């Protein structure tokens, strides 16, 4: 779950760059998919993109990437003993996941699904959390080297290997919809699925950059959130990973949904949420998970070396208060 808020205003007017007699409309579409809501906002003279077209794309993506659908490609792979022929969507997500796994020294690993399920963050609820012996056993089925693409097939090294692309699939879905918008000739748009956002162009008719608000938890003990920061961008993607809404609690301890694939245990560090800005949503979505697992100082050092990305961090101080900081490139995006 992510917490980004698109800030747009009504716009119906004449715009230079279009025909002089064209009235440019702000067109909004929305629906429900992937267990969350989606919204598309674009500026055009006509409704060149329809809701049904977006729904159709998202249904196709679910049929490939959803572990909640028993006949999806990913579910069939997980149920197989040696692997299966996969479709282009899962192939693209696996390829990107492998890239991020290498760049993050194994912190991003889609074979973590057995641990995600054991800790109760998958499709099936659990009655009790795994003990250390169970975690050690499950780790034998985890590791990106235990899957191998061979042509249009994805092969398992061990039958127990299963994958979960939840940490990257929504970002990929945003990119697929955004690419569709561009193929339809739309040049000013925002695509948002479950809070993951990709932007191209500007608001019309005023030509301002798109405004995106980043939420943060409110006062200690409060369930309310507040808009912590507002950024402006005209092209790129913004995604957030956080643990203050999605967690388990047992014996007074909170367990983050972000699991460290090296240890098999939920991550425990000071980070509350990480927002990443990147050129596309699949990249931002993958790396917001990586940074959440690293902890604040390692995450800051890591992101400063990535010239094509920037990040914003919300964290807990030792006294339990909420604070924030950001990488150097992020400050240039903040609304003054």
Rounded to an integer, what distance in angstroms lies between the CA atom of residue 170 and that of residue 299?
Answer: 22
Sheet holding 225-233, edge to edge: 4-7, 210-217, 225-233
Decide if 142 is inside a domain.
yes
Angstrom distances, CA of residue 3 to CA of 62, 196, 225, 288: 22, 8, 9, 12
Residue 149 falls within a domain, yes or no? yes
What is the number of structural domains in the chain?
Answer: 1
**Integer Cα distance of 286 and 101 in angstroms:** 9
154 within some domain: yes
Q: Per mean pLDDT, which range of 10-19, 83-92, 253-262 is the poorest? A: 10-19
Asked if pLDDT for residue 17 goes beyond 90, the answer is no
For strand 12-13 and strand 24-33, is the pairing parallel, antiparallel, or unpaired? antiparallel
Which residues, in sequence order, are bridge partners of residue 197?
192, 238
C-alpha span between 70 and 95 (Å, rounded): 23
Residue 256 has pLDDT above 80, yes or no: no
Could you tell me if residue 105 is inside a domain?
A: yes
119 lies in which domain range? 66-160
Residue 191 lies in a domain: no
In a domain, 322, yes or no: no
Judged by average pLDDT, the poorest of 11-20, 44-53, 313-322 is 11-20
| CA–CA gap between residue 279 and residue 83 (Å, rounded) | 32
Smallest Cα–Cα separation from 247: which of 217, 276, 279, 226? 217
pLDDT of 253: 52
pLDDT at residue 247, rounded to an integer? 43
Contact 141, 160 (CB under 8 A): yes
Residues constituting the chain: 336
Q: At what angle do helices 88-103 and 51-65 cross, to 10 degrees?
A: 70
Secondary structure class of 31 (helix, strand, coil) = strand
Residue 125 lies in a domain: yes
Task: Kindly report the number of other CB atoms within 10 A of residue 248's CB atom.
Answer: 16
Provide the percentage of residues in the chain whose pLDDT is more than 70: 86
Mean pLDDT of 282-288: 97
Q: What is the pLDDT of residue 220?
A: 53
Token reading at 65 = 């990437």
Predicted TM-score of the model (pTM): 0.89
The mean pLDDT of 19-45, rounded to a whole number, is 87
Q: Which of 18 and 61 is assigned the larger pLDDT?
A: 61
In a domain, 103, yes or no: yes
Q: How far is CA 176 from the centre of its chain?
A: 13
CATH number at residue 120: 1.10.3980.10
């Amino acid at each position: 779950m992510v917490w980004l808020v698109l800030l747009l205003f009504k716009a119906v007017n004449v715009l230079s760059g279009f025909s002089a007699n064209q009235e440019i409309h702000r067109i909004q579409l929305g629906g429900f998919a992937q267990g969350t809501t989606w919204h598309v906002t674009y500026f055009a003279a006509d409704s060149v993109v329809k809701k049904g077209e977006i729904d159709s794309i998202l249904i196709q993506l679910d049929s490939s990437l959803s572990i909640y659908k028993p006949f999806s490609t990913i579910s069939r792979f997980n149920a197989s003993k040696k692997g299966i022929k996969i479709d282009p969507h899962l192939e693209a997500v696996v390829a990107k996941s492998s890239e991020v796994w290498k760049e993050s020294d194994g912190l991003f690993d889609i074979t973590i699904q057995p641990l995600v399920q054991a800790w109760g963050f998958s499709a099936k609820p659990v009655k009790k959390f795994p003990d250390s012996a169970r975690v050690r056993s499950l780790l034998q089925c985890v590791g990106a080297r235990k899957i191998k693409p061979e042509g249009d097939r994805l092969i398992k090294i061990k039958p127990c290997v299963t994958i979960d692309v939840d940490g990257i699939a929504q970002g990929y879905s945003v990119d697929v919809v955004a690419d569709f918008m561009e193929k339809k000739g739309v040049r000013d748009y925002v695509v948002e699925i479950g809070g993951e956002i990709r932007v191209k162009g500007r608001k019309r008719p005023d030509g301002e950059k798109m405004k995106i608000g980043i939420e943060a938890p409110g006062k200690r003990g409060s369930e309310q959130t507040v808009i912590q920061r507002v950024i402006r961008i005209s092209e790129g993607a913004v995604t957030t990973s956080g643990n203050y809404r999605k967690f388990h609690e047992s014996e007074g301890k909170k367990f983050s949904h972000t699991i460290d694939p090296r240890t098999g245990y939920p991550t425990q560090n000071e980070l509350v949420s990480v927002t990443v800005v990147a050129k596309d949503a699949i990249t931002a979505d993958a790396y917001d998970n990586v940074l959440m697992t690293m902890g604040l100082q390692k995450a800051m050092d890591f992101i400063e070396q990535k010239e094509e990305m920037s990040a914003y961090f919300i964290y807990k101080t030792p006294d339990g208060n909420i604070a924030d900081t950001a990488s150097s490139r992020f400050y240039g995006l903040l609304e003054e």
